[in-house]
Chain A
Amino acid sequence: NAGVMQNPRHLVRRRGQEARLRCSPMKGHSHVYWYRQLPEEGLKFMVYLQKENIIDESGMPKERFSAEFPKEGPSILRIQQVVRGDSAAYFCASSPGGEDGETQYFGPGTRLLVL
């Protein structure tokens, strides 16, 4: 059973470009979470999605950031018009919901560098 997959693992963008980060949850998991980690800091929650629905986006910046989890395919975190402050590691986690819904399993992350 493959774990949570994220790609790309590393992404370099110039200011003003778009960044698309992909996350495939573990098989059987229908809940996806996105986090951002800045150097020497813990993870900051961004958004919680279930298939085709955004459940909680209280941690998402109001502008330039969006997320989706379509019926088919991976979850996508999209950052438009990136700025240097967007440079960070972005982690995706998934959970099965139900009785073990509180346990999240993390992917390896995407390291975004904005030049």
Chain B
Amino acid sequence: AQSVTQPDIHITVSEGASLELRCNYSYGATPYLFWYVQSPGQGLQLLLKYFSGDTLVQGIKGFEAEFKRSQSSFNLRKPSVHWSDAAEYFCAVEGGSYIPTFGRGTSLIVHP
């Protein structure tokens, strides 16, 4: 069975500061990994995904994530946060069944 843990329910950062959102997964083999962002009242937008190859993945809006097999992690990073990045962020894992499992989400608050 596949599962995802996002240990931080809320993260608060100052605008311009760096950001790292944590995601740990459980799956027997190398899974497909995703990060989505959800603004209030909106659907989920795909930020980036990892299937194979280079473990550092670049996404939209200046985000990147690094797959670390030894730590079963897929943390999301951004070097400098903008106020418009305030949103809910979801990590998801999928093991080839076409049905992903989502984490509970991390709410990002950005202070001016």
Contacts of A48 in B (CB 8 A): 98-99
The dominant DSSP class at the A interface is strand
Contacts of A105 in B (CB 8 A): 46
Whether the pair A103, B49 counts as a contact (CB closer than 8 A) is yes
Whether the pair B102, A108 counts as a contact (CB closer than 8 A) is no
Known: A106-B44, A108-B42, A109-B43. A42 touches B98 (CB 8 A): no
Whether the pair B104, A41 counts as a contact (CB closer than 8 A) is yes
Which of A56, A101, A104, A106: most chain B Cβ within 10 A? A104
Contacts of B97 in A (CB 8 A): 56
Question: What is the chain B residue whose CB lies nearest that of A93?
Answer: B44
Contacts of B41 in A (CB 8 A): 111
Contacts of A111 in B (CB 8 A): 41
Interface size of A in residues (CB-CB distance below 8 Å)? 26
Whether the pair A42, B44 counts as a contact (CB closer than 8 A) is no
Contacts of A33 in B (CB 8 A): 98-99
State whether the Cβ of B63 lies closer than 8 Å to any Cβ in chain A: no
Q: How far is the CB of B21 from chain A (nearest CB, A)?
A: 14
State whether the Cβ of B83 lies closer than 8 Å to any Cβ in chain A: no
* Pairs across A and B, CB under 8 Å, 19 listed: A6-B43, A33-B99, A41-B105, A42-B103, A42-B104, A42-B105, A43-B90, A44-B102, A48-B99, A55-B98, A56-B97, A56-B99, A91-B43, A101-B98, A102-B98, A105-B46, A107-B43, A108-B43, A109-B43
User: Shortest 8 CB-CB distances between A and B: which pairs?
Assistant: A42-B102, A106-B43, A106-B44, A108-B43, A43-B102, A42-B104, A102-B32, A109-B43
